[in-house]
Amino acid sequence: MVQFNKQTFRETRQKLWGEETFDLPLDYFPSLPSTNQKLWQLLNEGKPLPRVVIAGQQTAGKGQWGRQWQSSLGGLYLSLALSTQLPATNSHQLTLCSGWGIAQALRSKAVRVNLKWPNDLLLNQKKLGGILSETRIQNGHITQAVIGVGINWQNSVPETGINLQPRSQITSLESLAAVVAHGIIWGYQQYLAIGIEKILPSYLQMLSSKGRKVLVDGFPGTVVGVTAQGDLKIRLNSLGAGVEVLRSPGTISLSYR
Ligand code: BTN
């Protein structure tokens, strides 16, 4: 049976946060349908936040846009729950700052991650991982958010994917989990402290999608950025230099190269 060393997770968190470290309850399961689903179940039972659920494998891992996330043994499958008071309209910003925070945390460990809009983690232009955030909305506000992250550690990956384990200073799945959890919470804290406008330039620097050629309703265009609301900004080539259109997550997909 696969084990998870919670002590290593705690020690890595301690090193990352230093004196600012705080308790982060973690539940580990050798196998689950989905860590996001399990975490919602625990929240419905009244378990306090923030907290983390990790699984050794998932039998019904959820990907973006209703896809399945292949979750064989050896990958990282982590969900982290946060309580928030953000307006419901800011849900894409939450995903954006999670991806940005995780990328920054991995880069601090010499993993040169880039971002593919809206929230894929890329290494050497291949998919290292993905993020699926889900929210509970009450009275127009996001009261609870579950940020689910899948990262290819030493699991088998398709042609478009890449594993982290053979090429990283990070030496264990537990340490990787601590780095990812740190990135999500730190990204969220930064978002609250300085706002999305100040995070965007740094997000854009890591955005591999910039300059990518795309078709918008049959018209050729070029990706020029991402808005504060998390929409993709595309300049249409054929309609004169100044015409830009926006596309929200899920309405247009980008290739890896
Ligand atoms: C994507 O499609 O790129 C996002 C994939 C997110 C997968 C993770 S694995 C942990 C968490 N639990 C899930 O069921 N999905 C997310």
Residues across the chain: 257
Q: Which of 34, 40, 62, 80 for a ligand 1 pocket mutation test, highest count of atoms within 8 Å of Cβ?
A: 62
Supply the pLDDT for residue 129.
98
> Which of helix, strand or coil describes residue 75?
coil
Ligand 1 neighbourhood includes 132 CB (under 6 angstroms): yes
Q: In the structure encoding, which two tokens stand for residue 27, read together?
A: 């539940």
201: left (phi over 0), alpha (psi -120 to 50) or beta: alpha
Q: Give 153 Cα–ligand 1 centroid separation in angstroms.
A: 14
Q: Give 63 Cα–ligand 1 centroid separation in angstroms.
A: 5
Q: Give 78 Cα–ligand 1 centroid separation in angstroms.
A: 8
Order of all β-strands in the sheet with 141-151: 26-32, 51-58, 76-87, 141-151, 126-138, 120-123, 114-116
DSSP character string of 86-154: EEGGGHHHHHHHHHHHHHHHHHTTT---EEETTTEEEETTEEEEEEEEEEEEETTEEEEEEEEEEE-SS
Indicate which residue's Cα is closest to atom 9 of ligand 1: 150
Ligand 1 neighbourhood includes 15 CB (under 6 angstroms): no
Of 135, 132, 178, which Cα lies nearest the Cα of 43? Answer: 135
pLDDT in tens, 192-211: 999 999 999 999 999 998 88
Stated pTM of the model: 0.94
Q: Give 201 Cα–ligand 1 centroid separation in angstroms.
A: 26
Supply the pLDDT for residue 25.
97
Q: In the structure encoding, which two tokens stand for residue 193, read together?
A: 């402290």
Supply the pLDDT for residue 254.
75
Q: Which of 119, 149, 153, 180 for a ligand 1 pocket mutation test, highest count of atoms within 8 Å of Cβ?
A: 149
> Which of helix, strand or coil describes residue 187?
helix
Ligand 1 neighbourhood includes 36 CB (under 6 angstroms): yes
Backbone angles phi, psi at 17, to 5 degrees: -95, -20
pLDDT in tens, 126-174: 999 999 999 999 999 999 999 999 999 999 999 999 999 988 889 999 9
Q: Which residue has the higher pLDDT, 86 or 254?
A: 86
* Index of the ligand 1 atom closest to the CA of residue 120: 3
Supply the pLDDT for residue 82.
97
Supply the pLDDT for residue 241.
61
* Index of the ligand 1 atom closest to the CA of residue 36: 12
**Measured CA distances, 63 to 53, 96, 179 (Å):** 17, 16, 21
Ligand 1 neighbourhood includes 104 CB (under 6 angstroms): no
Q: Which residue has the higher pLDDT, 13 or 257?
A: 13
End-to-end distance of the chain based on CA atoms, in angstroms?
Answer: 38
Ligand 1 neighbourhood includes 57 CB (under 6 angstroms): no
Order of all β-strands in the sheet with 219-226: 213-216, 219-226, 232-236, 244-247
Contacts of 13 (CB under 8 A, 6+ apart): 21, 24, 178, 181, 182
Q: Which of 27, 64, 69, 173 for a ligand 1 pocket mutation test, highest count of atoms within 8 Å of Cβ?
A: 69
Ligand 1 neighbourhood includes 148 CB (under 6 angstroms): yes
